[in-house]
Amino acid sequence: MNLFHFIDAFFSDSAHWHGYDGIPTRLAEHLGYTLEALGLAVLIGLPVGLVTGHYGRGGNALSLIATAWRALPTFGLLVLLTLLYGFGLINVMVPLVVLAVPPILVTTYEAMRSVDPSPVDAARGMGMSEAGVLFQVELPAALPLVLSGIRSGAIQIVSTATIAAYVGLGGLGRFIIDGLYQRDYEKVVGGATLVAGMALATLAVFWAVGRVAVSAGVRRSG
Amino acid sequence: MTGLDSPERPVPPGPKAGNSCQTRRVFGVLIRIDSVTKRYPDGTVAVDRLSLEIPDRSITVLVGPSGCGKTTTLRMINRMIEPSEGTILIDGQDSRQQPVNTLRRSMGYVIQNAGLFQHRTIVDNIATVPRLLGWKKDKARERARELMDRVGLDASLAKRYPYQLSGGQQQRVGVARALAADPPVLLMDEPFSAVDPVVRKGLQDELLRIQAELGKTIVFVTHDIDEAVKLGTMVAVLRTGGKLAQFAPPAELLSHPADEFVEDFLGADRGVRRLSFFPSTGLELTMAPVVTAGGGTEGASVDAEFLLVTDADGRPLGWTKPEDLATDGQLLPYGRPFVVGTDSLRAALDCAVLSPTGWAVAVDADGKVTGVVSQQTIAQAIRGAHDEGRTDADAKVTG
């Protein structure tokens, strides 16, 4: 029995493709958790990163907070929240958001700081408003790096969202945890393969977004 | 909605940058810098009670060593830096009277390395200020294409991105972008200092040509005195600490530096450099030692040490000794000829110094020889020109 054997057995079993414990359901659940957590993390990290990066202030405080946040153990946070507030989706969202905010925030800040200052100076000198400078000059130039920050946040969420299964929720973590419990290694490997596949798909999505959103002039010169 | 219209609706007459004029021309306006000081919170004084009257429709160059406050002065004109004291009047109006972005949109701004937006095509880079002023996209792009033509950029570059252009081309785009909304004032902060000397010369010539066509008020910052002398109608030399050392036309600067600092800054060869302001028109040329190839020596003075051989059309071929003329031997190179009328005494002297025979070759606009002139004759002309220049300058001082 090798790894590929497990994978093959898992995916060829038609029972795994139907019902509330089927692959499509679990994938959809996992995708749902990921999108929600990523959305929240972007909503928090991106504006703060953009504004602090634009004004160049608060960089030190920012990296301190980000480091502290990173040190929070995701699993521990999940258990703590569950103990305090009982079972619920919010207890899964908080650790996932906490996990993804630091890479998004810090990378966005760094991306904004590393924008060539001379187009920014030229834009101000031509009478562009501060918002114009931020969104029309700095952000387009910083976009590849900003996207890479969101991408690493997304990948971390995809792989960590398996913890939802520990507190009775769905997602691809179900296969892994149930499989371990039932000593059904076929299921464990199958679930892990799906998580890895989804992480790769996330990479592909970000590559595609980059192709569309980043100007050819920035892509080629950077 | 009409009740919410801005109160400044009636536009006052005068040379204002309009947004609907392809035919109306916006000329430069006068800028008066009135005892302006820039002091930073740490006590550093970048500019110290500077007063300058920057004439309209001309190029005024601010020049000086690093730390003399020339860039600070320039950036105070469009309020990228706010003066600590004093006022700056643009066309008689205090620069603080209008919103800062309105002020900046009425002034072209060109910086070192051009500062182009990498994510925008060339045509969209140039259309930036018209778009800020609310022009429609199509109209702004059409205007941008006109400007590409004006600054000597090929229309095929319109859809390219900045990274696809050379440094010199990028700087042309920078100039076009600054001119796009037809502003009366152009502020240029060391725009050509990052390109190689050959490209720089091309850009300088182009700027002079554009200025002759457009008649803007250009304030130009450089640390290169040669550039200042070449481009400036007026040159302001600033000394460290932001004080004005001298404000004069370049010829006067070279002939009458105000003090030792200015003299040092102008460099050791200011005498030779000053010759660029004297035309070569008055030089006494001679056709005596000029012969046509294959035409024998008739008409040429045989006692000359060297003879200049030309082809049948009168274009120079090279120098030869009279006795070698018949033998069809190797000709000595004639160096670079100077063009009578266009080139200065400096160019003529340079030609004579570089020529192996000590004689400079003068040609007309078509490259045909109009005569030759010796170093001695040029030296006499220089002495004459200096005397003339002295009387001129003295008259300026006393008058």
Tens-binned pLDDT, residue by residue, of chain B (399 aa)? 333 433 333 333 444 444 444 445 788 889 999 999 999 999 999 999 999 999 999 999 999 998 899 999 999 999 999 999 999 999 999 999 999 999 999 999 999 989 999 999 999 999 999 999 999 999 999 999 999 999 999 999 999 999 999 999 999 999 999 999 999 999 999 999 989 999 999 999 999 999 999 999 999 999 999 999 999 999 999 999 899 999 999 989 998 999 999 999 998 788 888 888 888 888 888 888 888 877 666 556 656 788 888 888 888 888 888 777 766 667 888 888 898 878 888 888 988 888 888 889 998 888 888 888 988 888 888 888 777 655 554 444 333
B76 in A contact zone (CB under 8 Å)? no
Task: Give B398 to chain A, closest Cα distance, Å.
Answer: 42
B70 touches chain A (CB under 8 A): no
Give A18's pLDDT tier (boundaries 50, 70, 90).
confident
The burial class, CB within 10 Å (0-12 / 13-18 / 19+), for B39 is middle
**What 3-state DSSP class applies to B317?**
strand
Helix%, strand%, coil% for chain B, nearest 5: 35, 20, 40
Note whether residue A141 is domain-resident.
yes
Closest C-alpha among A216, A112, A221 to residue B120: A216
**Is A84 part of any domain?**
yes
Query: Nearest residue on chain A to B75, judged by CA atoms?
Result: A125
Q: Is B113 on the interface with A (CB under 8 A)?
A: yes
Closest-approach residue (CA) in chain B for A143: B119
Distance from CA of A108 to the nearest CA of B (A): 18
Report residue A213 CA to chain centroid gap.
18
Count of structural domains within chain A: 1
| Minimal CA separation from A107 to chain B, in Å | 20
pLDDT digits (tens, 9 = 90+) for B79-104: 999 999 999 999 999 999 999 999 99
Q: Dihedral angle at the C-alpha atoms of B108, B111, B113, B118, nearest 10 degrees?
A: -50
Contacts of A219 in chain B (CB under 8 A): none
Give the pair of three-digit tokens for residue A147: 């996207």
In a domain, A162, yes or no: yes
Question: Is A72 a domain residue?
Answer: yes
Name the nearest CA neighbour of B103 among B21, B29, B35, B5: B29
Question: Which residues from A are below 8 Å from B115, CB to CB?
Answer: 116, 118-123
Chain A residues with CB inside 8 Å of B103's CB?
127
Pick from B102, B132, B178: CB nearest A128: B132
Instruction: Say whether B208 sits in a helix, a strand or coil.
Output: helix
Name the token pair of A179: 């499989």
Q: Is A220 on the interface with B (CB under 8 A)?
A: yes
Residue B54: strand pairing partners? B31
Residue B158's closest CA among B204, B127, B189, B113? Answer: B127
Give the one of A125, A127, A214 whose C-beta lies nearest to B102's C-beta.
A127
pTM metric for this prediction:
0.81
Contacts of A144 in chain B (CB under 8 A): none
* Cβ–Cβ < 8 Å for B253, B246: yes
The CA–CA distances, whole Å, from A199 to A21, A101, A157, A211, B107 equal 21, 18, 9, 19, 51
HEC readout, B121-172: CHHHHHCHHHHHCCCCHHHHHHHHHHHHHHCCCCHHHCCCCHHHCCHHHHHH
CATH code where residue A144 lies: 1.10.3720.10
In DSSP terms, B244 is beta-bridged to: B238
CATH architecture assignment, domain B290-381: Roll (3.10)
Core vs surface per residue B54-77: b (16+ CB within 10 A) or e: bebbbbbbbbbeeebbbbbbbbbb
Q: Is B177 on the interface with A (CB under 8 A)?
A: yes
Please report, as a single letter, which amino acid is at residue A171: G
Residue type at A72 in one-letter notation: L
Nearest CA of chain B to the CA of A151: how many Å? 21
Outline which parts of chain B fall under CATH 3.40.50.300: 31-276
- The answer to whether B158 contacts chain A (CB < 8 Å) is no
- What are the pLDDT digits (tens) for A105-133? 999 999 999 999 999 999 999 999 999 99
Residues from chain B that touch A137, judged by Cβ atoms under 8 A, are 117
Measured between alpha carbons, how far is A38 from A96 in angstroms, rounded to an integer? 8
Nearest to B300 by CA among B277, B278, B326, B275: B326
Contact predicate B311/B292, CB 8 Å = yes
Which class for B130: exposed (0-12), middle (13-18), buried (19 or more C-beta within 10 A)? Answer: buried
B385 close to B278: Cβ distance less than 8 angstroms: yes
In a domain, residue A19? The reply is no
| Residue B270: C-alpha distances to residues A134, B229, B262, B264 (Å) | 47, 10, 11, 10
Is the CB of A125 less than 8 angstroms away from the CB of B116? no
Axis crossing angle, helix A23-55 with helix A89-113, rounded to the nearest 10? 40
- For A71, the enclosing helix (H) or strand (E) is helix A59-71
- B120 contacts in chain A (CB < 8 Å): 215, 217
Give the structural domain span for A137.
25-221
**Contacts A215 to B, Cβ<8 Å:** 118-120, 161
Query: Looking at chain A from residue 129 to 158, which residues have their Cβ under 8 Å from any Cβ of chain B?
Result: 129, 132, 136-137, 140-141
Query: With an 8 Å Cβ cutoff, are A125 and B103 in contact?
Result: no
| Closest C-alpha to B25, from B59, B57, B54 | B57
**A129 contacts on B by Cβ (under 8 Å):** 101
Give dist(CA A102, CA A144) in Å, integer: 17
Helix axes A185-213, A3-12, angle to 10 degrees: 80
Asked if the B31-276 domain carries CATH number 3.40.50.300, the reply is yes
For B359, the enclosing helix (H) or strand (E) is strand B359-363
Q: Where do the CATH 3.10.580.10 domains begin and end in chain B?
A: 290-381
Beta-carbon contacts of B101 under 8 Å, excluding residues fewer than 6 positions away, are A127, A128, A129, B132
Nearby residues of A142 by Cβ (< 8 Å), 6 or more positions away: A53, A108, A111, A112, A114, A115
